[in-house]
Amino acid sequence: MSETSLGAPFAARARGALKDAYLQEALGIATTKFIGLRRESFEDFPQGDALRDRARAIKEATLQQLDRHLERLADNIERLGGRVHWAATGDEARDIILRLCRDKGVRMAVKSKSMATEEIELNEALEHAGVKPVETDLGEYIIQLAHEKPSHIIAPAIHKTKGQVADLFSKELGGRFEADPEVLTKVARAELRQKFLEADMGITGANFAVAETGTVVLVTNEGNGRMVTSLPRIHVAVMGMEKVIPSMTDLMVFLAILARSATGQKLSSYTTLVRGPRQPGEMEGPEEFHLILMDNGRTRQIAGTLREALYCLRCGACLNVCPVYRQIGGHAYGHTYPGPIGILLTAMLKGAPSVKELAHASSLCGACKDVCPVRIDIPRMLVELREHLDTEKIAPWTERLLFGMARRMMMRPSWFRRGASVARLAQKPFARDGRLRALPLFFGKWTATRDLPAVAEKTFSERWQELRRP
């Protein structure tokens, strides 16, 4: 984790992140690379826009009948010999997994990258219960070694430079490794081989689950997902309920845009389709397959203001283009899901008051909406979240007072004019060459780093008297 403490308010965490030179270097390089790759991949893909509209429409329609699709998914998985568990909360989801571990004598679990298991802080719970969780995605493996949390939805170790990873490996694994990604990957690979063979349980998330066939779909780049779903004797997949999609045809639509949005790939290196446990006559696969369908605040948003956030594919494109994320990274947000979409998901999972500060961690520049594969209107939803915080009086009273005054000025031109006159008087001691370089109190937040133009001797409204033609 960067120097920032999670106990500090958001603004302090953000300031800490701005001062973290390693974070700044790593983030700048990685997000710029992701932005370029995504742009190029859509430039060569004229049908991309239509597919994005289609993907959004599928998500919209599926949520209209979520219960029906989920039941169909569950029926099909049970028919294949899998077990489906319904979890209303994150606690329930965690308890189901812990109970499975206890009942089946699980001592080690290998994991493929999953934000859903991050959301329920599964690793901590497993460790507490005496089960050793081993992350097998390279980024997650790095994070686990460093005792940190992911700072990006698809690139969990995006905040680390390769030098930092080399130092970490050298310290934790014993040895002296150079800062060469290829060398470091080989080291991790050798470490992980044995773990795949030893583990009793494989835990994954799910990018999609296809209702008509009972297929759980994993999109990965390292092949670890396949090992996790096929080598251990038990496979447990944890997914948010909104991840269900009706058909394999729908899946093709999503696969065509997901990797392009995330990494600029046409398809990820591996697309793993899992249909229940090992079937009679099959050579490989787990003896048991469990799917945990987790609600954890999701279904109550189907008719709520955060509804569109349920369309999210977790591609991370909105993080890469967000000017705020690009400056402060994921940890400063302080929750499982960072970036613009993370603010909305956090509000969904933990309630609006938990994002009182974060709701304003956006300049509303709209870059996130522009790149979102399912065109989630994130800026609009942030504004609605802000409205909720204001009307519920969760926003600070000083702020509400200030905006109340602003409203009065906007409603009465005479007050507006008087405001300009007062400002002209008040700025006198501070103005030089029409610029204000250091102002006290609240205004100092601007002038600490930027000059402010002085309020003009004559406003445009006042000058109009000379400009107008009879």
Partner 1 sequence: MITCLGDMFFPEVGVAMVRLLRRLGVDVEFPPGQTCCGMPLFNSGYHADARAVAARTVKLFADAGHVVVPSGSCAWMVKAEYPGLLADDPALHAEARALAARTYELSQFLVEVLKVSGVGSTFSGTLTYHDSCHLLRGLGESRAPRTLLRSLEHGELVELPGSDECCGFGGSFSVRLPEVSTAILDKKLASVEATGADCLVACDAGCLMQMGGGLSRRGSRVRALHLAQVLAPEGPP
The residues of the shown chain that bind partner 1, judged by CB under 8 A, are 11, 14-15, 18, 323-324, 327-328, 359-367, 369-370, 383-391, 395, 399, 403-404, 406-407, 409-413, 416, 420, 423, 435, 437, 442, 445-446, 448-456, 458-464, 467-468
Q: Which CA distances in Å does 367 have to 123, 198, 417, 448?
A: 34, 45, 36, 27
Minimal distance in Å, beta carbon 403 to partner 1?
Answer: 5
For partner 1, the closer of residues 153 and 455 by Cβ is: 455
Torsion of CA 334, 336, 341, 344, to 10 degrees: -80
245, 210 Cβ separation under 8 angstroms: yes
Minimal distance in Å, beta carbon 399 to partner 1?
Answer: 8
Dihedral-angle region of residue 312 (phi above 0 means left; psi in -120 to 50 means alpha; beta otherwise) = beta
For partner 1, the closer of residues 79 and 412 by Cβ is: 412
Which has the closest alpha carbon to 406: 392, 394, 390?
390
Residues 249-277 as b/e (b if ≥16 CB within 10 A, e otherwise) read ebbebbbbbbbbbbbbbeebeebbebbbb
Q: Mention every residue, 6+ apart, whose C-beta is less than 8 A from residue 406.
A: none
Minimal distance in Å, beta carbon 406 to partner 1?
Answer: 6
State which amino acid sits at residue 224.
Answer: N
Separation of alpha carbons 162 and 170, rounded Å? 12
For partner 1, the closer of residues 6 and 190 by Cβ is: 6
For partner 1, the closer of residues 14 and 143 by Cβ is: 14
Minimal distance in Å, beta carbon 14 to partner 1?
Answer: 5
Which has the closest alpha carbon to 227: 263, 178, 194, 185?
194
Minimal distance in Å, beta carbon 307 to partner 1?
Answer: 17
Minimal distance in Å, beta carbon 461 to partner 1?
Answer: 6
For partner 1, the closer of residues 263 and 320 by Cβ is: 320
For partner 1, the closer of residues 42 and 141 by Cβ is: 42
- Taken in order 315, 34, 164, 334, the sign of the CA dihedral is negative
